[in-house]
């Protein structure tokens, strides 16, 4: 955890170095890769498509890092915004009404020691997926950024190019809508 703290404390310096030093960009890549991959994979549930989007995200970041400016938000928020834009492009290319399905590994390992618990987890995950797929795209997106990617309100606002207040309102409305549909 100490390494994570150091990266976050020194992120601005690492980003400044990364504008001219590929090794510094590699530090950022190594730190954010699993986080961005997890976010994208949880949205798509498809390893190959997730890897394509992840590659495109880091390629865009690498090419455009010289133009990156903090503006009070982390480099990570900028990466999540790029990933979100790439996801939206991906969804636009898909056939309308296509649903998101998560692969088994998303929910964790299915335990042979407790098959009843594994079945229960699988059913719960399927119920959550079903409800998420019923929500408007904007609500799905905000829930996934907040709870799957574990972004703070400020980072979500930056990633979606909205105010912090608007992000908070969207989260509240999305959760209310999710709860109502889940209880049906």
Q: Which residues contact 155 (CB under 8 A, 6 or more apart)?
A: 73, 74, 76, 77, 80, 145
Query: In this predicted model, what pLDDT tens digit does every residue of 146-164 receive, in sequence order?
Result: 877 777 888 888 878 888 8
Residue 22, both tokens? 């590929």
Residues 40 and 141 sit within 8 Å (Cβ to Cβ): no
Q: What is the mean pLDDT of residues 13-42?
A: 90
Q: How far is CA 117 from the centre of its chain?
A: 27
Query: In this predicted model, what pLDDT tens digit does every residue of 76-117 receive, in sequence order?
Result: 888 988 998 888 888 777 655 545 444 444 444 444 456 777
- Enumerate the domain spans of the chain: 1-96, 114-184
CATH topology of domain 1-96: Rna Polymerase Sigma Factor; Chain: A (1.10.1740)
Residue 88, both tokens? 């939206």
CATH topology of domain 114-184: Arc Repressor Mutant, subunit A (1.10.10)
Q: pTM, whole model, 2 decimals?
A: 0.60
Q: What is the mean pLDDT of residues 3-10?
A: 62
- DSSP letter string, 70-121: -TTS-HHHHHHHHHHHHHHHHHHHSPTTPPP---GGGG-PPPSS-HHHHHHH
């Amino acid at each position: 955890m100490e390494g994570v703290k150091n990266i976050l404390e020194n992120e601005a310096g690492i980003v400044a170095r990364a504008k001219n030093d590929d090794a510094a960009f590699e530090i950022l890549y190594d730190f954010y890769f699993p986080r961005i991959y997890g976010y994208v994979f949880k949205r798509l549930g498809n390893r190959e498509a997730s890897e394509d989007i992840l590659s495109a995200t880091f390629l865009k970041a690498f090419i455009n890092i010289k133009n990156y400016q903090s503006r009070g938000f982390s480099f990570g928020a900028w990466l999540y915004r790029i990933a979100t834009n790439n996801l939206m492009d991906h969804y636009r290319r898909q056939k309308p009404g296509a649903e998101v399905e998560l692969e088994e590994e998303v929910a964790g390992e299915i335990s042979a020691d407790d098959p009843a618990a594994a079945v229960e987890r699988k059913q719960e995950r399927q119920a959550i997926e079903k409800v998420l797929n019923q929500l408007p795209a904007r609500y799905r997106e905000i829930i996934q950024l907040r709870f799957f990617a574990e972004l703070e309100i400020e980072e979500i606002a930056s990633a979606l190019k909205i105010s912090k207040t608007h992000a908070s309102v969207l989260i509240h409305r999305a959760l209310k809508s999710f709860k109502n549909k889940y209880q049906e």
